[in-house]
Structure 1
Amino acid sequence: MSSYYKWKKRSISKKALKKNKLKQKIKTLYFEFKQRYGSPRITAELQALGYRISRVTVAKYMKELGLKSKLSKKFKVTTNSKHNYLIAENVLDRDFKATRISQKWVSDITYIQTKDGFLYLTTIIDLYDRKLIGWSLSNTMSADDTSLAAFRMAIKNRPIEKGLIFHSDQGVQYATKKFTNILASYGVIRSMSRKGNCWDNAVAESFFKSLKTELIYRNKLIFKKQMESEIFQYIEIWYNRKRRHSSLNYKTIEEFNNQNKIYKNVA
């Protein structure tokens, strides 16, 4: 065999070996992150590890391997907007960008089915870094157990800055006097979505979509105690620490905040 063909054969073998190693790494990451990542986040993870690879190539290899991120399903709205409390204007007006922490917070409530009944998850997200700074998992839909409990956690984790906008839907948990009085005592500006318009609170809705896609729908029905543990792990260990967020240019929240060096003593 001529030296040219020997060289060509060796070259093809090296390329094939490199491709196989890369595909194996992609497969490892895919299952390491519990099948939650599609090609954009797998690409970001590889690049963070020092690989020089494009999203197109990753998508191609994932297709060859038969790897897909979990698909989403629709879920029902849980908040009740049929009440006589005062509704706030839509001050946020779908402006989901924030230039500093505690400038804009968004909140929402969803239900989670378990073997022994429903749990209700209330979340509060800071739009600056998309961190879930307050949350509550409860057996009831009362304001004490939902909006108030989540808000108490949020103000422990982050200081309230002057002019903070707090946005939610028109649910009674956010409109009741007890909750609105607490917001007023901190000088918080209330904002509410238009009735039945989920796009006015798209970031909060997006979190629930991710949660239900990446955790709830992919598991069999479990009991409340186990679900409480799963939700804690998802929020505090996965979402707030490890997950790469498309809104942060596929950085983790910690990487984003370290890059911007915006705070040291804020959770």
Structure 2
Amino acid sequence: MGNKNTGKKYNEDFKMMIVDLYNSGSSAKDLSSEYGVSEVTIYSWIKKFSPIQTEDGSTVTADEIAKMKKQMLRLQEENENLKKGYGHIREKVNFNELTDIIKEIKDQYSIQRLCDVLDVPRSTYYQTSQKLESNRERENNELTKQIKEIHVESKQRYGAPKIHNILSKKGFNVSLKRVQRLMRAANIRSIVVKKFRPTPSKGRILERKNVLKRDFNTTTVNEKWVGDITYINTLKDGWCYLASVMDLHTKKIVGFSFSRTMTTDLITKALENAYDSQNPSDGVVFHSDLGSQYTSDDFAKKIQTYKMTHSFSHKGSPYDNACIESFHAILKKEEVNHVKYLDFDSAKIALFKYIEGWYNRKRIHGSIGYKTPQELENEIMVSVA
């Protein structure tokens, strides 16, 4: 049971958030890299939702190209200035002095580049600059550098197993224990923070049919989706609510919605966003808990409209919906519990960046072969095309 077509689709909430991020200072290039949308598509959204017109008729795309050309010229001038500024030094000083010069400015330019400009063999530089480290020390230093970069890139969310996996993909032959030891030595650890979650009052709950029955196995995308609501606190607007929809095959959050109120509209919007983005065939099993929003008549009509089958957790059985509960726990540990959101709007932007920019497109998952959800979905779409 796959998509009706392999072309990527994006819901209106996604498009408008990308435009908001662009208008707040993010470049189209960065947004394209972060969220997997082509720059051409981003510009078309900008033109649709926030058209910019000038007297000479220039467009945002033209402005962006001009900025890129200006940056290229600046880099070329910088390279020429470096050669002019240091090229004459080679003939006036000895190797030891050259080594000192390279040491002094190596944070600004690569050693390779400096050696080329000053006509100094790199081997000579390394021999005269300092006592050679042992192979093990050099390896540890390089590995620690790589570990720090991966850790920073993950916003301190990755622990040793995921960092070890990425190092292996980069070609480093290193054991997990060594990675753990180097992380301890460098005081690098995954951020994990648990925090209080308010619990709503419980009224009388009627049992509904559990179609899923904790069978989380799938064969492809858009077979089984799960949904749930979690709480996000803000300083000015108090508790706000995030409704999420996950595809069990890829672990991708295929739809979500954020609101100041926990209503049926909240979960309906999340499902609509998922449906618009994935365009699934009929028969998707959608599983949720027995919350009043999910058991409402209005939501039942939406499920019927999409020709889905609604499955419900048993009363008092959170493990029936463990996958989406796990995602919300990860969201809290990696993002929410480390931030005090000023208001609803700032929280909304942060959640979009985490879900679409990090979780779906950059965060590798051990349960799907250390791939990202979007990476796995793309592979499936290509295979069925």
TM-score of the superposed pair, with normalisation by structure 2: 0.61
Between the two proteins, what is the percent identity of the paired residues?
38
- Is the aligned partner of 1:129 residue 2:250? yes
Q: Which whole-Å CA distance do the structure 2 matches of 1:214 and 1:135 have between them?
A: 18
Work out which of the two has the higher radius of gyration on C-alpha atoms and give 1 or 2: 2
Deviant stretches of 4+, over 6 Å: none
Where do residues 247-258 of structure 1 align in structure 2 (5 Å cutoff)?
A: 247-258=367-378
147, 166, 172: which one pairs with 1:51? 172
- Partner SS state of residue 145, structure 2: helix
163, 167, 171: which one pairs with 2:283? 163
Q: Which whole-Å CA distance do the structure 1 matches of 2:340 and 2:241 have between them?
A: 18
- Is the aligned partner of 1:41 residue 2:132? no
Cα 1:203–1:77 shift into 2, 3 Å: farther
Equivalence for 2:353: 233
How much is the aligned-residue C-alpha RMSD, in angstroms? 2.3
Q: Which whole-Å CA distance do the structure 2 matches of 1:197 and 1:187 have between them?
A: 26
Q: Deviations over 1:36-87 (max 9, x none)?
A: 0101111122222222223222122112222111124154365666357x64
Q: Deviations over 1:67-114 (max 9, x none)?
A: 111124154365666357x64222111111211111000000011001
Equivalence for 2:227: 107
Amino acid at match of 1:130: K
Equivalence for 1:176: 296
Cα 1:190–1:163 shift into 2, 3 Å: same
* Number of aligned residue pairs: 253
Unaligned runs of 5+ in 1: 1-9
Unaligned runs of 5+ in 2: 1-130
Deviation of the 1:29 alpha carbon: 1.4
- Partner SS state of residue 217, structure 1: helix
TM-score of the superposed pair, with normalisation by structure 1: 0.87
Where do residues 6-17 of structure 1 align in structure 2 (5 Å cutoff)?
A: 13-17=134-138
- Partner SS state of residue 255, structure 1: helix
Equivalence for 2:217: 97
- Is the aligned partner of 1:149 residue 2:269? yes
Cα 1:140–1:83 shift into 2, 3 Å: farther
Q: Which whole-Å CA distance do the structure 1 matches of 2:213 and 2:241 have between them?
A: 26
Q: Which whole-Å CA distance do the structure 2 matches of 1:265 and 1:178 have between them?
A: 37
Cα 1:199–1:175 shift into 2, 3 Å: same
Q: Which whole-Å CA distance do the structure 1 matches of 2:227 and 2:201 have between them?
A: 14
Equivalence for 1:29: 150
Equivalence for 1:246: 366
Amino acid at match of 2:173: R
